[in-house]
Amino acid sequence: MSHWGALCASLLLALAVAATASGALLELRDGTRLEGRLVGATALTVQFETARGVRMVAVDDIASLRFAASAEPVAPARPAQAMPAAPQPAAPARSSAPAAAAPARTSAPAAAAPARTSVPAAAAPAQAAPTRVQLPAGTRLRVRVHDSIDPRQATEGDRFSALLEAPLVAGERPVAPARSIVYGVITAARHSGPASGRLQLELVELQIAGRPVAIVTGTQQRIEAPGTPAPASAATVGTAQLARGTLLEFRLLQPVELTLPAR
């Protein structure tokens, strides 16, 4: 991970707690502007909630992040000043004459309340059911390595991260956009000398809308190194170093069942 990515991730993690209750404006390097709120961050991505749902954004794609200003504090109300008491009128003098008898009260029957008519409530609109889709076995996953991997220091079981090169589609439904995070594991690392070695990689997890989805793939095929196209060859990569940005291709060995929200 680059120094800029680590610095941005630390800042975003520190601001996440204070920003979840307020609005935010996220500007990407390609000019895209997103309005919503920050719901989480990792060393590689930011989880940003908009009206269309939660979107995963790579830290390297962020140009700026601004939060809405807090409201001005309301001044406490001033206590009302006591008003001078109004003079009470003098009580009338009592006379000794007998008081007139009060007229008898007649209780008139109360008017009958109008009968209430019950109006049936409007039926709530039916909600569309979620859609189930499948990524079949054999689906190609092309990814670019996010951090360089040195075969002389790598060991079996080490995890690595990569980014999808192109959107992932199941039938006609988009499943994951380009630059979605993918995690893999080093299944074999053989040192062939002091300056080179061979690596065998597999993908194990795909992030879809902030949710991890387990996947099973075969070993990688190298498509090209950064700036130097190279044909796909063996399933193992022989190199002095697997540089950041190297394009690799994997194929699903097992189908993946997914549930997508209704459109």
The DSSP code sequence of 33-86 is EEEEEEEEE-SSEEEEEETTEEEEEEGGGEEEEEEPPPPPPPPPPPPPPPPPPP
pTM of this prediction? 0.49
Q: What is the pLDDT of residue 112?
A: 61
Residue-wise pLDDT tens digits, 72-93: 443 444 444 545 555 565 555 5
Distance CA 222, CA 231 (A): 7
Same domain, 62 and 139: no
In a domain, 8, yes or no: yes
Residue-wise pLDDT tens digits, 28-56: 888 888 888 888 878 788 887 888 888 88
The dihedrals phi and psi of 261, each to the nearest 5 degrees, come to: -65, 155
Q: The domain spanning residue 225 has which CATH number?
A: 2.40.128.260
For the chain, give the mean pLDDT. 75
- The 10 Å CB-count burial string (b at 16+, else e) for 115-128 is eeeeeeeeeeeeee
Residue-wise pLDDT tens digits, 195-253: 566 889 999 999 998 899 999 999 888 775 555 444 433 345 555 678 999 999 999 99
Residue 189 burial class via C-beta count within 10 angstroms: exposed 0-12, middle 13-18, buried 19 and up: buried
Q: What is the pLDDT of residue 74?
A: 37
For the cut 90, the answer to whether the pLDDT of residue 3 exceeds it is no
Q: What is the pLDDT of residue 78?
A: 47
Domain of residue 213, residue span: 134-256
In a domain, 181, yes or no: yes
In a domain, 79, yes or no: no
For the cut 80, the answer to whether the pLDDT of residue 118 exceeds it is no
Measured torsion, CA atoms of residues 237, 241, 244, 249, in degrees rounded to the nearest 10: 0
Q: What is the pLDDT of residue 55?
A: 85
* pLDDT-based confidence at residue 71 (cuts at 50, 70, 90): very low
Range with lowest mean pLDDT among 11-20, 52-61, 141-150: 11-20
Nearby residues of 196 by Cβ (< 8 Å), 6 or more positions away = 151, 152, 238, 239, 240
Q: The domain spanning residue 62 has which CATH number?
A: 2.30.30.100
Same domain, 141 and 250: yes
In a domain, 110, yes or no: no
Residue-wise pLDDT tens digits, 121-133: 666 666 778 888 9
What's 213's DSSP letter?
E
Q: Which residues is 259 bridged to in the sheet?
A: 132
Q: Which residues is 2 bridged to in the sheet?
A: none
Q: What is the pLDDT of residue 67?
A: 77
For the cut 90, the answer to whether the pLDDT of residue 165 exceeds it is yes
Last residue of a domain, one of 23, 41, 67: 67
